[in-house]
């Protein structure tokens, strides 16, 4: 698949962007990427893990996750669906900007997309990253890849990354609706004593220590999002009781400490304590990535079945209208800021809205210093 397979939606009359989106003349969806055929799996994984010291046996193990689904990651199809929903929302709100799509680790590659944007006359784009939280792998590495792509493309458009949205009301509402639906699937007699496990991708503890401007932001933002989701449910008369943050998808060398508990260990401990049911809420993922469909729907489900533990899995934000609308909200908010205005910046947690421009030293690269876009360094 080439970058041009996601044709931008052109302005119908060829006019300049409306004043509400000035100074932006396009939106760029920036995502992780994934293989779309079996022969793409290992090249994709090698790109993802280059320089990280991931053992070959771990790569082979993860490759089997993809081959379990025919060698195709769900993420690219989900991005296509999200872009279609985003364009429909833009049309309904009178936002007449084209939407482009570039991946870090698979086609359409970012550099190819930036070249296409330049050729289409785009000069400045708002970049929406499909990662809601602060960490090196969830933010700065994306900014480094944007810098790589800009360096590769002559006269590349200026890029401005939209802020983190872990506690944007639209993201919170989408996840709250999904959790409410999953909770409702529990038999009434199991809800008393059931627990919710908010799930996200584990990262090395050293990465957590440098997440955000002052460290610790990755966990803090997840806890803030979880609290906001639980608070949303309480306004509907739904009390989910105990809720915890757990992790999945550890992939580094065994001697390197990563955030815990692992979801499978958590399920075992829940069973041992007599917990009647667990609901997994994968708030660390914006759609049903491979980590969700394999690590949770396959591995964690097998763990629960072996234990005889009732398990439900909530949906991800995906194309929920509130989440899709949040992108337009963030776009219009940032456009107003760039015009020197002071727009309302919605946030559903005490942490408040995240920064627009990453401060110097934010989410540092612990392996080497590399250029990054959309930040102070």
Instruction: Look at the chain and report how many structural domains it folds into.
Output: 2
pLDDT over 60 (residue 11):
no
Question: pLDDT tens for residues 223-238?
Answer: 999 999 999 999 999 9
203, part of any domain = yes
343, part of any domain = no
Instruction: Compute the average pLDDT of residues 273-286.
Output: 98
- Angle formed by the axes of helices 56-67 and 41-49, to 10°? 140
Question: pLDDT tens for residues 320-345?
Answer: 999 999 999 999 999 999 999 999 99
CA–CA dist 248, 177 (Å, integer): 22
Q: Which domain holds residue 333?
A: 3-165+319-338
373, part of any domain = no
Residues 180 and 105 in one domain: no
User: Which region among 54-58, 148-152, 363-367 has the lowest average model confidence (pLDDT)?
Assistant: 54-58
User: Which region among 21-35, 38-52, 288-302 has the lowest average model confidence (pLDDT)?
Assistant: 38-52
pTM of the shown model: 0.94
60, part of any domain = yes
Residues 279 and 253 in one domain: yes
Going along 238-299, which residue ranges are E strands? 243-248, 277-281
Residues 223 and 293 in one domain: yes
350, part of any domain = no
pLDDT over 80 (residue 130):
yes
pLDDT over 50 (residue 21):
yes
pLDDT over 60 (residue 173):
yes
Instruction: Compute the average pLDDT of residues 157-175.
Output: 98
| Average pLDDT score over the chain | 94
CA–CA dist 163, 142 (Å, integer): 13
Residues 246 and 332 in one domain: no
39, part of any domain = yes
376, part of any domain = no
Residue 71 sits in a domain whose CATH number is 3.40.50.1400
Residues 220 and 103 in one domain: no
78, part of any domain = yes
Instruction: Compute the average pLDDT of residues 67-82.
Output: 96
pLDDT over 70 (residue 13):
no
Residues 329 and 293 in one domain: no
């Amino acid at each position: 698949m080439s970058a041009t397979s996601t044709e931008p939606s052109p302005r119908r009359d060829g006019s300049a962007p409306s004043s509400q989106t000035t100074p932006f003349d396009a939106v760029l969806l920036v995502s992780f990427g994934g293989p779309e055929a079996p022969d793409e799996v290992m090249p994709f994984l090698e790109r993802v893990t280059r320089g990280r010291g991931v053992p070959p046996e771990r790569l082979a193990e993860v490759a089997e996750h993809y081959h379990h689904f025919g060698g195709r990651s769900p993420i690219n199809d989900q991005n296509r669906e999200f872009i279609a929903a985003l364009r429909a929302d833009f049309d309904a709100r009178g936002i007449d900007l084209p939407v482009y799509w570039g991946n870090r680790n698979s086609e359409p590659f970012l550099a190819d997309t930036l070249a296409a944007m330049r050729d289409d006359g785009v000069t400045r784009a708002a970049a929406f990253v499909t990662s809601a939280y602060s960490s090196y792998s969830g933010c700065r590495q994306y900014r480094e890849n944007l810098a790589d792509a800009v360096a590769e493309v002559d006269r590349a458009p200026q890029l401005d990354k939209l802020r983190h949205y872990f506690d944007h009301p639209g993201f919170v509402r989408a996840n709250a609706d999904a959790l409410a639906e999953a909770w409702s699937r529990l038999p009434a007699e199991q809800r008393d004593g059931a627990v919710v496990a908010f799930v996200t991708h584990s990262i090395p503890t050293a990465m957590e220590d440098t997440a955000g401007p002052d460290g610790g932001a990755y966990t803090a933002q997840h806890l803030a999002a979880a609290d906001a989701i639980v608070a949303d449910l309480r306004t509907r008369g739904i009390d989910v009781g105990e809720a915890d943050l757990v992790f999945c998808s550890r992939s580094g060398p065994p001697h390197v400490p990563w955030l815990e508990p692992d979801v499978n260990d958590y399920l075992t401990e829940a069973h041992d304590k007599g917990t009647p049911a667990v609901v997994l809420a994968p708030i660390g993922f914006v759609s049903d990535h491979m980590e969700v469909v394999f690590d949770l729907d396959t591995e964690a489900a097998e763990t629960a079945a072996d234990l005889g533990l009732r398990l439900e899995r909530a949906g991800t934000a995906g194309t929920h209208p509130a989440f899709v609308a949040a992108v337009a909200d963030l776009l219009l908010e940032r456009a107003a800021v760039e015009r020197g205005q002071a727009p309302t910046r919605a946030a559903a947690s005490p942490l408040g809205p995240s920064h627009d421009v990453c401060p110097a030293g934010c989410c540092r690269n612990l392996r080497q210093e590399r250029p990054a876009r959309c930040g102070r360094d």
